[in-house]
Structure 1
């Protein structure tokens, strides 16, 4: 454990006590909140709003229908929303304050340029149990030709008040003025209790003089300090509802619950619950319940209020150091400590300190061991995966840092892939999983997590990493480095953004965009890359798994990738004896039978890739007829029967418009698919032939007499030369290879 880690750990220790105290406080607070919620067995929440009794969400959960709340999904948000009365949205209910916050509608009256009224609404609030709070709301009128009345009852008598707002033009109104009477008027409500309210918006001159910027009068009651005026509101006030604070009470003639203690005022529960009559409509017909001093909770629940333990509460306790607090019903008292109590306190403090010290030391010791064990495991994997060998080999390449593989740490790659999140996976194959990662220098990389490797091949694996990292070819995916701190080595490649050739061949939407020129260009570039690996690399490399899914596209530039099955070829060897690896449908039949891997094995696999480019068919498909399941055999049969253009892909009318080039590519593919490896051309020869066909398409004037004959004569000469070298006949060697081809039974019989 380094010094910074220790320092950060000890700095965090003091916060442990704070966290524990906060947790205890939250638990206590939650328990207190639960005491003042719904009846047992009833829902106490709708969306984000607590619904305490006497309110409730079902018939058995509220005192009477005056306290019924409906929980409905909001059409705009889809979230559960409590509704009171017909259509009042509830945002808060307080049992202690006897308040409910509801969203009440904005009144508006609008006119058109002809002075005709086009829109009007006059909302009213007439709920018998609710009275609008005069001390917690304001009455507001918006407009430049506007006034409005608020009508209702105050303490049982008729009540009416108004507010007026006038201005001549938009320049008269500024946001800084607030509601001063120019564009906006705001006034306080009377301190009494207002019931049965109605808002009536008006206009002096139907807004004709200010129509260009203020066609409407708006009026509303709103919770204090909840509304801030803006000049933009004169054009259009977007709010349809605003919060209003209302007081609620219980009717004296409300039906009683049988659990109630007092039949006269049955809504109040037991345990020091206090009844308070409330004068409304000129008589004491309504009341509220409160907890007596020293008690808290929900006074409306049958269990009533609960005693408050002041000695544990957050409030001040007026006891001296020589005294201790003792809770009594509804209050507390301070008592003098006896001498016998002090040793006990000291013992408790000592035990507590000892426990805390033990906890801290054991936690620190555990973290130290865990980190040390993790570092030892990483070091073990690093050595096991050949890290020391790689470091030694890379030390001699410091003069050429641009082509030197970087050794990444596990921490770097975890951060790059967001801890190998499933969403960063861009490919899965027989040799591992590939993740998309982002390095700190903003480079995008592909990180391949290989499957378990043979520990006996560690040195060869390191050699391959060194050799591959030195390859710098435009058509080969660049190996940037590796990570050896994990059980399975991780390889880091450059990221190629446009997917695999397989996707572009076999997915219909992408295939129709793959023109013949693009197909031929991809084939030529892939052949050039393989030729480079076979003959131009410092140590020849046999790919061993050539297929469209291992050819990536960067804006239709081919890049050969995935060297998980590759083999380095020593300078003094032509073939390698190795266990057969590869993908069914692309495997060289000679390699399959002899276990002798040569460069010509890649040539065969590339021949299958050429056929896929020509036909847009998969190398192996169990959905096709039995004789067509192997694409290579089906292609050679079609070529022998002169039916090549029956299986050529139809996009862009390739068969008719590029007949010469298609035929040339087919002849190259036929040579590559020869059963005898010696009869196949080298990848360098294939690359030259494909590049020639590509240039022929770009410059058709190069062979004006008959470009097909001239080019194919050159190709046939290559075939004839190889046949003569092997003592065979050119006329039948390609077609006879079908007869000698390894037949794999896919029928399952």
Structure 2
């Protein structure tokens, strides 16, 4: 495979990436107490080594905290395994960075290609901190950021620019520079970079190299075009932008460690459960104490009275364990506080009390008045802000369209404009535990309205002001879509910075989860697969032809096919959909979709038609029949792309070898051949030769009716008896050839699954 084809495949893969932004509690990074275990080396070069870390035998808590002092450097550098440690902090330590790069000569040839693979050890108490951020530097370039198979995490970045003037110093928002966050508990990652430009000579003059790296967010500032041209960018970044690594103690929670008698926390300290996603805990000193919480005798009391700036006493300060008290000398009265009455002679007690009382009441009255005015102005500003958002998001236009429809049709009961307060209350102020999912278009929350209806509320990430009228048109049309197999859009809210869409709530997950997750396949019989496929095809056909304005979904995939409590199909997620005027058969759009399901003709021409949905639905059918994912980056070359693999197997008369055993056992030979041919026609590379969704739905309904006849079941059992015997023999041979490594084997340098063992360097081949 040549380099250009490889880069195109990588770019396609980035189209379907869902850049998730996880939220986490902010922990201030402070210098650790410089306490080393007695008798142990406390310094390596310029770095202090605090316990539980240590240099030498018996100087560290466990093997993971052993530090070696590499004296081949000047000054010496401490290392944990192969990690070069730059500094230790309370909950983290900083390590030297690694930068992936790819460089070109003036003729567009690759002169340097350096991917990066970094590992902390699968069973270690370490993980890459979420205070790190993945960064890509380049023009018309992209980068992968792959986590381990066990973490099921894949992300990446695309940086676009056509000329140097477009790149702004300090701005890392996709033009010349792109950044994205990482998940919790990340112990491994692999990153590589590439170019989306076939002829790199057009931008070589200002973009000779592309770089990607993981580093501490607060330590990196984008320098604009100068970063592209800087030959020392890699060394400078390694020196100035370290990576933060979170650490915890043990692999038990506080209560588990306390029960087992292995809690490492010493006196005057408390145990805090890990919030990094890695099992374990940390020890911190109680308030009013300082020192080393992991070593005897534990944390020591702080004598606040020795430092006047550390106490509020105006009189006599008395130190107590973990705190202090204030009082007055003999002959004086008061509370002894700088912020209180202080200390005064006994004969002046009453005048002081009166004066203090008057001042206190006056100050209280002023404070109440200022607070009252503040809340009034805040409420007015909030109302004004919501009104501005309502106008900005097309609220007036939406009202005008609703009134027009009411005049013409008499009612618009299906369209509701929600207030921001309604949706805040429904989602408990968008609480974390109400999040149903995150995607490229926004976050979906579970909401409970005042009438106890459960809904799904989609909060978009961005809103293009030039597309307001189109957005309002889509809201009006989608709220008037009535089909039992299409998720109903109930209304919207325009009083927030970005519009909020309110959908009916579908409770039983996605078809993708039911196909690919273990333990959820019991209901997925051949008859139910046909029913789900027929219902989904009928719903998409309805969108194409039965609505007043045809709707092309543009992102048909099993993850967008929801199932309710009765396993009834619901087509969802119209974030990428496009309305097509009745006098047009295709529209030109920016290519959007999910790799593996994306219509190749649409990708190459940007011409979106109803047949693009047909291709994507064909991939869903193949997924239903085989139980395989549309893309398997860990599989061998033949099985990596499900659509190609299915067509090739059909041509080579190997269809029954790739189908799920349950499908083969429950479906008749005629049915399986017929649906296999249907998938083949849907996956035709020429869109004009694909069937319409109406034809697909009709054919699937015909297969369903055939399945429901009692004689069809008996015929299937007899017909498949011999076929299953053959399949069982092939399965035995296949199971003997499966790689014995599983996805949880803990091998730190690669990934494994039922497709065989794949090293990270093979992922991009």
Scaled by the length of structure 1, the TM-score of the pair is 0.49
